[in-house]
A and B are shown apart, each in its own frame.
Chain A
Amino acid sequence: MSGRVIVVTSGKGGVGKTTASANIGVALANSGAQVALVDMDIGLRNLDILMGLENRVVYNLVDVVEEKCKLRQALVKDKKLPNLCLLPAAQTRDKTAVNAEQMKKLTAELAGMFDFVVVDSPAGIESGFQNAVAGAHEAIVICTPEMSAVRDADRVIGLLEARKEEISQYRLIINRIRPNMVKTNDMMSVEDVLEILSVKLLGVVPEDEEVIISTNKGEPLSGTENSKAGLAYRNIARRLQGEDVPFIDLDSLGQNSWFARVVKFFNPVRV
């Protein structure tokens, strides 16, 4: 078995890399695939918190690289999904604890065990980023509809382009879009972002308060909640698996007409 190694990256911090990694991982695992989530943000470990697994972490990625433990020992199994595993980052070390060669070896080993290896990259474009993308076959670039996030995404795409040999494709997720603000021209639209970045779109995730609630709960919302963002992440996972899923109609999201409310009452998922 040789799985796909997908790195989730953005350049800018706080745009939702870790949230996206967790949700995509859960959504992929829900569809039956064997999924490993790798937290590459060494020193700023977060992914285990989002997954609600922080109390189960014994060994971490750096321990595996330094051969203090076996890879299987460090993998933390998800609470609900037996086919989803997390390889947590070390919290007491920093990103210089590993190098690109070690990461290549590690992701190759994981790819032999899982269908999907989702690597959560740290913010920035320094060694942490370079390590995270080292063994990846594909990349997902996360960006919010803000000028600064788009600028950083552009920079990251440039860096990914330079690694064409290893990274066969990179696609964009536009996160935290607010249809109402787009409508009043206070926020960049999906089209605005795509025009600058000229890159293939993987998904659009609307701003959703449920995301914060699910983070606190330690249960990524793509697994359970009937929320807008959860649906968006499930669609993204389906697209990653090669399905042709139409994008969510953002215009209907912003509307709160009586008709929209009636529809929502009877069919809360169809947003």
Chain B
Amino acid sequence: MLRGAFHPVASAGQITGRHKNMSKIKIISQAEQGVTIDISGCTNAEEARSYLGSTLQVSSQFWQGLAIDLTLGDLSLGREEAERMLAVLHEVGINPRFINSDNATTTRALKEIARPAPALNEPVISRAASAREAAGIADGFDKPCAAEAAEAAQAAVAVLTAPTATTAAQPEPSALQETPTGNPVTIPVPSLELVTAAPEAVASPAVETSLVSSAVTGTVTMATATKQPAERQPAVMLLKQTLRSGQAVSHSGHLVIIGDVNPGAELTADGDITVWGTLRGMAHAGAGGNTKAEVRALRFEAIQLRIANAIARAPDRTKLPERGAKIPETARIIDGKIRISAFDPE
């Protein structure tokens, strides 16, 4: 339950601590949509493979059983190079659901691999290519045709307005519009109904979270590095699980927990914390100093609450702890003190 339940924008490059440049490889994990591994930041096949290898090996526990998409961007790969890259993925038990490429050479290489090799359990189809097919363009394409194809593909895709995961991963979203042919396009492959449509939360870019899920201790630590501009809404991390004693989650944006937070568990967020369940553990909202941050829970039974620099604690207990009110409540700072009141959407 631990893995797969997290939906942060994660840069796995951070996990290793070896790769300072985080844009080389990005891991974008989304609710219900699986995980996108974006290696479009790498300049050549060798580099991409080494990043993929080191990142996936380090956290191989995390990958198993997840639906994974691979984004190659403009990376140019020959057939052999592509095969070797897939081998790296297979080694850690990853069978990519989609491989998304904007490069013609790569696309061709991938198609060659996908067609004759029945060894691949799931279809590996270049999205750029399938987009063109969907738009009714002939398979073999050359330069002038490609631009047309991309346009047509875009028109076909217009219905699917959701930005792709790649969009979210770009530091500058505007850069996307400037590349006419290289525009990453998401088209559902007919045989598979799964379409990657990034939720709005992920579309807010540049919050990079590294996720270390330790299967041994059950402790989840999220080191966050925020690069976002001040005016942007912080990203939301959604967690669907009960947090038990000893488990800690911290996130640079808003934190939403679907489940209970038991005593001994700790939540820390720079933004708001929302618990769709009973909050019995410790919650620290606005950890970066944001006094406007709030903590909401369906049932408040928290032992201690922190918002920015303010701390509130539950009354001393004389007998068994009393049950909290069975109504959703919000904690916020009023006149420098934490006040809990009935939940009010305003």
Contact = CB atoms under 8 A, between A and B. Distances in A.
Interface in A176-229: 185-188, 192, 195-198
A25 B113 CA distance: 56
Nearest to B260: A198
A135 to B, nearest CB: 15
Interface string A142-175: 0000010001101101110111100000000000
A229 to B, nearest CB: 24
A162 B217 contact: yes
Interface in B38-61: none
Given A155-B264, A186-B319, A161 B1 contact: yes
Contacts of A195: 278
A155 B263 CA distance: 10
B216 interface: yes
A151 B263 contact: yes
B214 A158 contact: no
Contacts of A197: 262
A255 to B, nearest CB: 22
Interface stretch (B8-16, B221-229, B239-247): B239-247
A159 B263 CA distance: 15
A29 B2 CA distance: 36
Where chain B touches its partner, the secondary structure class is loop
Say which size band chain A's interface belongs to: 20 to 34
Where chain A touches its partner, the secondary structure class is helix
Given A154-B262, A161-B2, A196-B262, A130 B245 contact: no
B320 A158 contact: no
Contact of A155 (B1, B246, B260, B319): B246
Given A151-B264, A152-B245, A158-B247, A186 B217 contact: no
Contact of A185 (B214, B216, B320): B320
B218 interface: yes
A125 to B, nearest CB: 8
Nearest to A153: B245
A196 B320 CA distance: 14
Contact of B1 (A130, A152, A164, A196): A164
Given A157-B244, A159-B246, A162-B215, 7 more contacts: A154-B263, A154-B264, A155-B245, A158-B246, A159-B217, A161-B2, A161-B218
Interface of B: 1-2, 214-218, 242, 244-247, 260, 262-264, 278, 280, 319-321
9 contacts: A147-B321, A154-B244, A154-B262, A157-B244, A161-B218, A186-B319, A196-B260, A196-B262, A198-B260
